[in-house]
Amino acid sequence: MQSLDSEISAAIVAAGGAISFEKFMELALYAPAGFYSTEVRAGRRGDFITSPEVGPLFGAVVANAVDAQWRQLGRPKKFELVEVGAGPGTLARSVLSAELECRDALRYIAVEVSDVQRRLHTAEMHSQSTLPTEPMVGMIIANELLDNLPFRLFVFDGVWQEAFVAKQGESFVEVLRRVNDAPEWLPQVAPHGARVPVQNAAAKWLASCLELLQSGSITIFDYCSTSSDAITNPWRDWLRTYRQHEQGEHYLRHPGSQDITSHVMIDQLQLVRQADRVETQADWLIRNGINQLVEDGRNYWQANAAKPDVKALKMRSRVSESEALCDPKGLGNFKVLEWHK
Ligand SMILES: C[S@@+](CC[C@H](N)C(=O)[O-])C[C@H]1O[C@@H](n2cnc3c(N)ncnc32)[C@H](O)[C@@H]1O
């Protein structure tokens, strides 16, 4: 396999000396030697812990939300749950092992672009690499997908310029270029050096999902911000890299060996369509029954503590999982956005 550095360098030469940051990010994460193409990244032994990787409780709450959506649609005979950016299938496993009222109607479709991760999916997950194309009734969900979609990067330098990436010696370096398709919503004036992501791929993804969905809902879970906050706050607050549970180096360093991720800009998604609901993950989990699931867990543990089986241990761990998922300084402060149709 061609090394990622050579693939990016070749793309730079082919483009006449520089590629957009968006293209750089796409190659760094999704080229054959890219960060997500080579290894499973989410989980305790990976590079970061996401809500499904905390334990099965998150999936049990998602299962409650799935049943609620199914009932709201009048209990259709065929109900699809499309999870996009499914990673190794951890959320799918938890949802499918929960007590689902809609089980007989449910078809779980796990969409994951990385072959390495898709190989870990089971037949029950109906694994595929791209979004379905047939109109569907059901739910589309995505946990920490949109923050990983490549974005254009703009920098204020008296005027807004776009960040491109060139090669200087052995290093990748940033060069700024004036472009004539900068978004109109960028403010006329900003602090010198201010940066903002322009998340066209995320907006396009939402537009495709809205088109695909005949009736039901789209729910995304992610760390979010607004474009105006991104402009006024230090860019390192919203543009991050991760490697083995630590913050990584500058985003142009070591492509393929560190994640590159941005807060999702809620205002840019809302340009596609206003969300029907925006709330914190903690509020969403509470609204969908996390407290009852934790209470059931506690009761089951107490009834079986003298002779605990695997189920009892899982039920006991709901208490600590819930604390992590609802932590106002951590996952609990993630945002959940819903669009209904
Ligand atoms: C941060 S991981 C999150 C994985 C999982 N949802 C979780 O919460 O643990 C993002 C995942 O989205 C996948 N991905 C990125 N772009 C995608 C796309 N357009 N379609 C499907 N999967 C995609 C990546 O390969 C990666 O596995």
pLDDT of 2 above 90: no
Adjacency order of strands within the sheet including 79-84: 106-111, 79-84, 136-143, 213-222, 335-340, 277-280
pLDDT of 11 above 70: yes
Ligand 1 mean position to 146 CA, how many Å? Answer: 8
CB of residue 248 inside a 6 A radius of ligand 1: no
Q: Where are the alpha helices (DSSP H) in 140-278?
A: 200-212, 227-232, 266-270
Mean pLDDT of all residues in 19-47: 88
The pLDDT of residue 1 is 67
Closest residue by Cα to atom 11, ligand 1, is 85
**Residues 173, 255 contacting (CB under 8 angstroms):** no
Query: Which atom in ligand 1 lies closest to the alpha carbon of residue 37?
Result: 25
pLDDT digits (tens, 9 = 90+) for 182-212: 999 999 999 999 999 999 999 999 999 999 9
pLDDT interval class at 139 (50, 70, 90): very high
**Residues 260, 251 contacting (CB under 8 angstroms):** yes
CB of residue 202 inside a 6 A radius of ligand 1: no
Mean pLDDT of all residues in 13-30: 98
Cα 171–chain centre separation? 29
pLDDT digits (tens, 9 = 90+) for 158-184: 999 999 999 999 999 999 999 999 999
Beta bridge partners of 337: 220, 278
d(CA 312, CA 308): 5
The pLDDT of residue 43 is 66
d(CA 281, CA 223): 10
Q: What pTM value is reported for the model?
A: 0.96
Mean pLDDT computed over every residue of the chain: 95
Of the chain, the percentage scoring pLDDT greater than 90 comes to 93
**Residues 305, 312 contacting (CB under 8 angstroms):** yes
pLDDT interval class at 259 (50, 70, 90): very high
d(CA 322, CA 311): 17
CB of residue 261 inside a 6 A radius of ligand 1: no
pLDDT digits (tens, 9 = 90+) for 55-105: 999 999 999 999 999 999 999 999 999 999 999 999 999 999 999 999 999
CB of residue 334 inside a 6 A radius of ligand 1: no
**Residues 147, 29 contacting (CB under 8 angstroms):** no
CB of residue 110 inside a 6 A radius of ligand 1: no
Ligand 1 mean position to 328 CA, how many Å? Answer: 24
CB of residue 221 inside a 6 A radius of ligand 1: no
307 vs 141 pLDDT, higher one: 141
Closest residue by Cα to atom 1, ligand 1, is 144
Rounded to 5°, angle at Cα 32 from 31 and 34 = 55
Reference 12, options 4, 1, 20; nearest CA is 20
* Residue whose token pair is 């590159």: 260
Closest residue by Cα to atom 19, ligand 1, is 113
pLDDT of 106 above 90: yes
DSSP helix, strand, coil percent of the chain (3-state; round to 5): 40, 25, 35
**Residues 225, 263 contacting (CB under 8 angstroms):** yes
Closest residue by Cα to atom 4, ligand 1, is 87
Tokens, residue 30: 């999704």
Ligand 1 mean position to 87 CA, how many Å? Answer: 5
- Kindly list the structural domains of the chain, giving each domain's residue range(s) and its CATH number in brackets, ordered by start: 4-33+152-198+232-262 (no CATH), 51-149+201-223+263-287+323-340 (3.40.50.150)
d(CA 51, CA 55): 8
**Residues 178, 131 contacting (CB under 8 angstroms):** no
Ligand 1 mean position to 137 CA, how many Å? Answer: 22
Q: Which is it for the CA torsion 263, 183, 112, 166, positive or negative?
A: negative
